[in-house]
Structure 1
Amino acid sequence: MTASGISETAVEAFVARERQRFLEQNPQSVALAERARHSLYAGVPMHWMADWSTPCPLFVERAKGARFYDVDGHAYLDFCLGDTGSMFGHSPEPIAKAITEQASNGLTSMLPGEDAVVCGELLAARFGLPFWQVTATATDSNRYVLRWARAITQRKTLLVFDGCYHGSVDDVMVRCRDGATQPRAGLIGQAYDLTQYSRSIPFNDVEALEAALAQGDVAALLCEPAMTNIGMVLPAPGFMQQCRELTRRYGSLLIIDETHTISTDIGGCTRLWNLDPDFFVVGKPIAGGVPCGIFGCSAAMAEAMLKARQQASEESHGHGHSGMGTTLSANALAMHCMRANLEQVMTQAAYDHMLPLAGRLATGLRRLIEKHQLKWSVTELGARCEFQFCAAPPKTGAEAEAAFHDSLQMALHLYLINRGILITPFHNMTLCCPDTCAEDVDRLIATLDQALGELLAMPAARE
């Protein structure tokens, strides 16, 4: 029996029909896919783009606000929003203006401008950490912060939660299986044993957390305040506060990655829940869709970082390299866009619009699940929500993963795409942006209602 309660036979028949519909109504995407496979690996410029539910990639022509348009002329409501990269909508006017302004004033010079100073001040005021650095991606931010943590603590082990996602940092590619840390399945080209210096434990498990930290070798706990990439998993009441308390007790640092959870509040969960991290990371949406990542640190960490640099300089006799930074990090275009985003786009008014819409969507999904008598649940976090194929919201990554029914998820996504709606791939997460409206939310709910009605009407659909 599948976790969802819906038979695989019904899903197969349902998706076969939807695949054919996609191919018939998207001839230009089909033609571009055929053309692309001769020059692009997997027919796409980044291989994840081939992992959607469609029988071939859907090629986008343009995007604006909460909508995008494909090469066949179809319009789509976008509840994926570049998997958070366009969290505040596609091409917000202030970002488009900032790109135009900077385009003729230099894109990168490896030198700072006034925008950098303003961004540092705005970030400190918003998130409560006094010092900031700018990177190209959140992956880079996590990678560099981990280096700092190991240098500061003189410890090597990284602690993460099972099912975590922190970009493509090698050290986080581990899972917890039967209480033991193992390399994440499917890794390609991994040359060394990740379990030597990485440890994975279940989310929301205080006993496992303390046991891992008590070994005295953990440089840092790197975590999202709520898990968002294995299916959403919210922290139990007080769990994040215990993360802070226990890391301090055992001499480990706390790194909070809010690349996805920044949709919760203008100051993230960090300010909303008073998490008080040593380091704080955000990527994707911070510059309004222009590639950029940031990390902030406390005053104590800034002082410790200075000492670590001085020590490294002495040991290398003034020569060497920190192993952090790229030439395009903090480039002029990204800094100008980040400033515009922080000042004009990523505002309290934006959150005041987004959050109630996500609540409306979550309520509609719960009613839909009840109507169709499904043993599913809905998890909410700020501007995003997710329906999951389990009766109660999962408490750990393992529970979330156990509820997966990949073929059903992809079938429902394809049905929505065929009717002009996009939600986040790989699981069933949605995100509302400042351009999303109540009618958009209602249309998503109505279309999913239609999908479930048709699917459940198939022979032997319910197991």
Structure 2
Amino acid sequence: MNSSGIAETAVQALAARERQRFLEQHPQSVALAGRARHALFGGVPMHWMSDWSTPVPLFVERAEGARFVDVDGREYVDFCLGDTGSMFGHSPAPIAAALREQAGRGLTTMLPGEDAVVCGERLAERFGLPFWQVTTTATDANRFVLRWARAITGRKVILVFDGCYHGTVDEAMVRTRDGHTVHRPGLIGQARNLTQHSRVVPFNDLAALEAALAPGDVAAVLCEPALTNIGMVLPAPGFMARLRELTRQVGTLLIVDETHTLSTGPGGCTRAWHLEPDFLTVGKAVAGGVPCAVYGCSAAMAQAMQIAREHASELSSGHGHSGMGTTLSANALAMHCLRANLEQVMTPAAYEHMLWLAARLAEGLRSLIARHALPWSVTELGARCEFQFCAQPPQNGAEAEAAFHDSLQMALHLYLINRGILITPFHNMTLCSPQTTAGDVDRLLASLDAALAELLALPGAREE
């Protein structure tokens, strides 16, 4: 018997049945998977696309709103939404219009237009930080902000929380084990020792945080307001406020990554919880699904950045490279879509609908977990919620990781896929978009209820 409350033999029986069902229902995906193996490494254009619960990749034909259709013509209600990239739905009408408008007016020029000015103004209004820069991905935004932080403070160490997610930034590819910072398991091709300049502490552990900051060598704390990728972990009451106090006391900068926690509201956790970061980064969904990310800073940081830039210019006799920026950063197409998303898609009305539906889903999940007498819990954050295989919501990354049950999660996900419902892979997280309906939420709950009923009806499912 595992900690999930369900025997592994039952999980494997359900999974085997559902794998066969998928293969029978998806002949075109099976055929494309066969072709893809001869042209794409691992049979997919990005390797993690083969890590879902399906026996072969599920190939998509089109997506719109809260739904997509696969190459076999089967329609799905999508609660994954590109793992946040399409948080506001697939191809929102204003974004589709912006793409059409900009298509004939130039895609990238390395020069700004009026859209750039408007986007800076809108971002400042929304998040409360006065100055902004635009990148292509949140990984880029985080990477560039870390360079600024080191240049401003003259320090090298970056502190992150165990189980954090900040894209593929090297400094975040670390974990804590027995109180020591170590490389993240599975990290490929890392040449340098990341533990020299990265430090990791458990989320919600103020004593560990204070000790890690005490030497006075930490340039910045890079954090999510709530962990979202290792399983959702919310901050304990007062934790984020104390984090801000401690960083100010020791001259460490605070960088808040809202890429996932943008689900909280129009200004993310930063505005909702009054976080007062020195820098803020947002990616994925900020331009409605078009590759784009942003980072903002306080007036004090903008002044310090200018001083750092002038100093670097003096050292290089006016020539050199900051190590920040890519040619496609802030391209005209992305800027036009970013403006449309900020003005027409990420509205208070959209969030009101999303948050109401997510609360309905979270309550429904709690009810069905209780009905099946399972030792599970539900964590919610704005439009995002997750059921986790532990009796109480986890308080840090280690607890969230300990609650993982990969085979059970994948069996349940595959069951849902076979019935036209998609949730986020690798854990049990859901998102509600402005186009998600109450009927969609009820359908997810009914399908998961049926999956648990069938699973628990298998012989020995609740063996002691």
Interval of TM-score (by shorter of Structure 1 and Structure 2): over 0.9
> 1:376, 1:389 within 8 Å by CA — same for their partners in 2?
yes
TM-score, structure 2 normalization: 0.99
Identity of aligned residues (%): 78
Match of 2:41 in 1: 41
Match of 2:454 in 1: 454
The letter for the 2-side match of 1:435 is Q
Match of 1:429 in 2: 429
> 1:413, 1:422 within 8 Å by CA — same for their partners in 2?
yes
Report the alpha carbon displacement of residue 462 of structure 1 after superposing the two structures with TM. Answer: 1.8
Match of 2:405 in 1: 405
> 1:3, 1:404 within 8 Å by CA — same for their partners in 2?
no
Deviations 1:119-164 (A, max 9, x none): 0000000000000000000000000000000000000000000000
Match of 2:166 in 1: 166
Match of 2:278 in 1: 278
Deviations 1:348-407 (A, max 9, x none): 010010001000000000000000000000001000100000000000000000000001
Distance in structure 1 (CA, Å) of the matches to 2:126 and 2:289: 19
The letter for the 1-side match of 2:436 is T
The letter for the 2-side match of 1:317 is S
Report the alpha carbon displacement of residue 287 of structure 1 after superposing the two structures with TM. Answer: 0.5
The letter for the 2-side match of 1:94 is P
Report the alpha carbon displacement of residue 2 of structure 1 after superposing the two structures with TM. Answer: 2.0
> 1:18, 1:414 within 8 Å by CA — same for their partners in 2?
yes
Distance in structure 2 (CA, Å) of the matches to 1:171 and 1:42: 27
Distance in structure 2 (CA, Å) of the matches to 1:249 and 1:4: 42
The letter for the 2-side match of 1:395 is Q
Alignment of 1:83-98 (within 5 A): 83-98=83-98
Report the alpha carbon displacement of residue 303 of structure 1 after superposing the two structures with TM. Answer: 0.3
> 1:130, 1:297 within 8 Å by CA — same for their partners in 2?
yes
Deviations 1:308-357 (A, max 9, x none): 00000111111110000000000000000000000000000100100010
How many residue pairs get aligned? The number is 463
Task: Give the secondary-structure state (helix, strand or coil) at the position aligned to 2:200.
Answer: strand
Match of 2:217 in 1: 217
Match of 1:317 in 2: 317
1:140 aligns with 2:137: no
1:9 aligns with 2:32: no
Alignment of 1:190-339 (within 5 A): 190-339=190-339
Match of 2:376 in 1: 376
Task: Give the secondary-structure state (helix, strand or coil) at the position aligned to 1:76.
Answer: strand
Report the alpha carbon displacement of residue 267 of structure 1 after superposing the two structures with TM. Answer: 0.7
The letter for the 1-side match of 2:388 is Q
Deviating above 2 A after TM superposition, structure 1's stretches of 4 or more consecutive aligned residues are: none
Distance in structure 2 (CA, Å) of the matches to 1:5 and 1:403: 11
Cα-Cα RMSD: 0.5
Distance in structure 2 (CA, Å) of the matches to 1:301 and 1:2: 50
The letter for the 2-side match of 1:318 is G
Task: Give the secondary-structure state (helix, strand or coil) at the position aligned to 2:159.
Answer: strand
Report the alpha carbon displacement of residue 9 of structure 1 after superposing the two structures with TM. Answer: 1.1
Distance in structure 1 (CA, Å) of the matches to 2:20 and 2:86: 30
TM-score, structure 1 normalization: 1.00
Distance in structure 1 (CA, Å) of the matches to 2:139 and 2:353: 29
The letter for the 2-side match of 1:300 is A
Distance in structure 1 (CA, Å) of the matches to 2:14 and 2:343: 46
Structure 2: which 5+ runs fail to align? none
Report the alpha carbon displacement of residue 195 of structure 1 after superposing the two structures with TM. Answer: 0.3
Distance in structure 2 (CA, Å) of the matches to 1:135 and 1:274: 25
> 1:3, 1:402 within 8 Å by CA — same for their partners in 2?
no
Distance in structure 2 (CA, Å) of the matches to 1:152 and 1:460: 61
Match of 1:358 in 2: 358
> 1:282, 1:295 within 8 Å by CA — same for their partners in 2?
yes
> 1:133, 1:296 within 8 Å by CA — same for their partners in 2?
yes
Report the alpha carbon displacement of residue 3 of structure 1 after superposing the two structures with TM. Answer: 2.3
Report the alpha carbon displacement of residue 215 of structure 1 after superposing the two structures with TM. Answer: 1.1
Match of 1:179 in 2: 179
Distance in structure 1 (CA, Å) of the matches to 2:196 and 2:245: 25
Report the alpha carbon displacement of residue 8 of structure 1 after superposing the two structures with TM. Answer: 1.2
Deviations 1:212-236 (A, max 9, x none): 0111110000000000000000000
Deviations 1:12-45 (A, max 9, x none): 1110000000000000000000000100001000
Report the alpha carbon displacement of residue 460 of structure 1 after superposing the two structures with TM. Answer: 1.0
Distance in structure 1 (CA, Å) of the matches to 2:293 and 2:299: 20
The letter for the 2-side match of 1:163 is G
Match of 2:150 in 1: 150
Report the alpha carbon displacement of residue 289 of structure 1 after superposing the two structures with TM. Answer: 0.3
Distance in structure 2 (CA, Å) of the matches to 1:105 and 1:3: 57
